Amino acid sequence: MSGDEKKMSGQSAKKDVRSLIERAAEHYDLSAAMRGEGQRPLVEPMPSTFAPAPDTASLLPPIFADPEPVAPPPPPTAYVPQLSSWSGMRHAIDREKLASLGLISPDGDVTGTGEEFRIVKRRVLSAAFDEQGHPRDRGNFVLVNSAHPGEGKTWCAINLAMSLAAEQDMDVLLVDADFGKPGICERLGLPEGTGFMDALVDAQVPIEQAVLQTDIPSLSVLPAGRHVRNDTEFVASERTRQVMDRLVAGNERRIVIFDSPPALAASPASELARHVGQTVLVVRADKTTEAALRDAVNLISACPIIRLLLNGVKFSSSGRQFGSYYGKTAQ
């Protein structure tokens, strides 16, 4: 090995003990980089695009107003569709049958029966509407009832409806609610069909189509409808009140008369009494006992107003003879 080779071998064998920074300084000017010379900033500043702030002295001062009080929302109420008229067919009432049964005829002569029911209807109307003509607390729903069968409740219900229909600004709906033994349609010569019970059983039944319009413009009739074994349970349901409210929706001057089963013969009467504002309890002279009357009143006591109607009286101690005053020529 020559001398030069030995010298180079000794230099390569000697270890370079300088740090990485020192060795890098030979190739890069780190001091200039640290001073920021010749370097571009990482983020270039954005040119200003904002308009100068306005002179706040020329602006009007802000006006602060107290917020208006917000009324609380009204409580939710059950939706009752408006119904001002019926869509069922119109039928003629059998006048000859009315006369044969001693019922009031809408276009007949003034009779004693007609005069007596004029007095009855005034009591009913006083409890049905206030001085402004608005319905009192369900007073426009009237139940006609009796203690036992055969005491004349259906006869009285029809006559009361006929008398009310003679009013100039009244709309009357007569409902056959004697589901076991309906008799209103037969007495008036009207066809039976879909009726009150059908609407209680099936919510899809259009009640306005079940009502029978008559040739008396202010009188309509709702048949009893289908016969079911559990009629009391249907009448006791909340559905009954909904259907009844539907019958008067859209007409504040409509009064609804219900002919119900006798209180001591069938239980639906006591349940119907919970949904009406007044009851006319028919008492048959010389037939209805005091015990039966007390029991009947107790069963329908849920009704707030109960009035007694004495039926079948043949003698008046005062000599009252209603109807004879007008004679045969009253118009």
Nearest Cα to 142, choosing from 161, 117, 165, 119?
A: 161
183 versus 327: the higher-pLDDT residue is 183
Asked if the structure places residue 273 within a domain, the reply is yes
Q: List the domain range (segments joined by +) for residue 224.
A: 96-311
Asked if the structure places residue 210 within a domain, the reply is yes
Asked if the structure places residue 18 within a domain, the reply is no
DSSP 3-state assignment of 219?
A: strand
Distant-in-sequence, close-in-space partners of 117: CB < 8 Å, separation ≥ 6: 104, 159, 160, 162, 163
Least confident of 85-89, 154-158, 204-208: 85-89
Distant-in-sequence, close-in-space partners of 77: CB < 8 Å, separation ≥ 6: none
Asked if the structure places residue 49 within a domain, the reply is no
Q: Residue 275: which CATH number?
A: 3.40.50.300
Asked if the structure places residue 134 within a domain, the reply is yes
Query: What value does the CA radius of gyration of the chain take, rounded to a whole number of Å?
Result: 46
Q: Burial of 62 by CB count in 10 Å (0-12 exposed, 13-18 middle, 19+ buried)?
A: exposed
Asked if the structure places residue 233 within a domain, the reply is yes
Dump pLDDT digits (tens) for 267-316: 999 999 999 999 999 999 989 999 999 999 999 999 999 999 999 887 55
Domain count, the chain: 1
Dump pLDDT digits (tens) for 66-101: 555 555 555 444 434 444 467 767 899 999 999 999
pLDDT at 325 over 50: no
Distant-in-sequence, close-in-space partners of 160: CB < 8 Å, separation ≥ 6: 117, 120, 121, 124, 142, 144, 257, 280
pLDDT tier at 19, thresholds 50, 70, 90: low
Residue 215: Cβ within 10 Å count: 12
Asked if the structure places residue 240 within a domain, the reply is yes
